[in-house]
């Protein structure tokens, strides 16, 4: 005899920041929450990223290519799914910047937004004959890369390579999908400092999940302003 179904999940809608596509989603269930908890306990960043992606795949009911979602897309989408799954409020304990006392604050997940640039030119001219078309790094780029927190320079170079979508000359357009990473890195290393700055400034302008909270310290009374950025800052 088949066991009865416990619940019929409600459906909600969200808009993917980078594309403007509206998609339907459901709250995550205990099966997904279990995977998320196990990933968090492992303290392995890649395992956590994969758990988040797999949760979105399970909860988003429309067709999306999760491998092409920008980092900020995944961050925003996960906060919206989580808000309908376990509650809209996140409780934080921010430290006072003056006396370092722990304080209490709360954020509504529905208030979190990704501020997309109104105008963005993703084509960067490097020489009279060569331009590059850029894209935002995806979560898959981060998960698949061998990035280490203590190797910031190496990480920047590798991520920049991932962000080059197409190299364009007067004669041809070269898609970077099948170009080996070694060749991409050599292309970047052959740049002048000015050309590299143009490239890296694109990455620096990447939208992020960001929210600013203000609180008065319960210890010394100082007014504090704290900006939280990126998924890890909120959970």
- How much is the average pLDDT of 130-151? 79
| Amino acid 208: pLDDT | 86
| Amino acid 133: pLDDT | 97
| Amino acid 118: pLDDT | 78
- Alpha helix positions (H), the chain: 30-42, 45-59, 71-86, 139-144, 152-163, 181-189, 193-204, 231-234
| Amino acid 126: pLDDT | 96
What's the pLDDT band for 183 if we cut at 50, 70, 90? very high
Helices (H), strands (E): how many in the chain?
8, 11
Is pLDDT larger for residue 152 or for residue 149? 152
Q: Which of 128, 149, 133 is nearest to 199 (CA)?
A: 133
Calpha distance 137→75 (Å, rounded): 13
| Amino acid 57: pLDDT | 93
List, for residues 59-74, the tens digit of each pLDDT value: 999 998 887 899 899 9
Instruction: Provide the 3-class DSSP secondary structure of residue 93.
Output: coil
Q: Order the strands of the 123-125 sheet from edge to edge.
A: 123-125, 130-134, 164-169, 173-175
**Alpha carbon distance, N-terminus to C-terminus of the chain:** 41
Which tokens hold the place of 68? 């092409």
| Amino acid 149: pLDDT | 57
Asked whether 60 and 76 are in contact (CB, 8 A), the reply is: no
Report, in this order, helix, strand and coil percent for the chain, each rounded to 5.
40, 25, 35
List, for residues 14-65, the tens digit of each pLDDT value: 999 998 999 999 999 999 999 999 988 888 878 888 899 999 999 999 998 8
199 Cβ contact list (under 8 Å, min separation 6): 124, 132, 134, 160, 164, 188, 191
- Alpha helix positions (H), 100-172: 139-144, 152-163
28 Cβ contact list (under 8 Å, min separation 6): 36, 55, 58, 59, 81, 82, 85
Instruction: Provide the 3-class DSSP secondary structure of residue 53.
Output: helix
Calpha distance 64→196 (Å, rounded): 33
| Amino acid 224: pLDDT | 95
Asked whether 18 and 39 are in contact (CB, 8 A), the reply is: no
Domain boundaries, the chain: 12-115+208-234, 123-204
Asked whether 27 and 9 are in contact (CB, 8 A), the reply is: yes
């Amino acid at each position: 005899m088949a066991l009865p179904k416990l619940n019929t999940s409600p459906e909600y809608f969200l808009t993917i920041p980078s594309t403007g596509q509206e998609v339907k989603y459901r709250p995550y269930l205990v099966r997904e929450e279990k995977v998320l908890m196990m990933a968090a306990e492992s303290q392995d960043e890649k395992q956590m990223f994969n758990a988040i992606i797999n949760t979105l795949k399970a909860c988003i009911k429309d067709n999306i290519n999760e491998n092409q979602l920008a980092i900020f897309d995944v961050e925003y989408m996960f906060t919206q799914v989580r808000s309908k799954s376990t509650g809209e409020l996140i409780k934080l304990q921010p430290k006072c910047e003056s006396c370092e006392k722990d304080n209490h604050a709360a954020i509504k997940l529905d208030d979190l937004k990704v501020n997309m640039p109104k105008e963005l030119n993703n084509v960067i001219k490097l020489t009279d004959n060569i331009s590059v078309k850029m894209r935002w790094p995806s979560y898959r780029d981060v998960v698949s890369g061998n990035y280490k927190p203590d190797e910031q320079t190496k990480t920047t170079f590798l991520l920049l390579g991932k962000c080059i979508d197409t190299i364009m000359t007067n004669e041809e357009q070269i898609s970077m999908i099948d170009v080996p990473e070694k060749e991409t890195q050599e292309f970047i290393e052959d740049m002048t400092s000015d050309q590299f700055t143009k490239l890296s400034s694109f990455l620096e302008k990447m939208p992020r999940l960001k929210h600013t909270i203000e609180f008065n310290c319960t210890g010394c009374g100082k007014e504090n302003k704290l900006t939280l950025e990126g998924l890890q800052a909120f959970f």
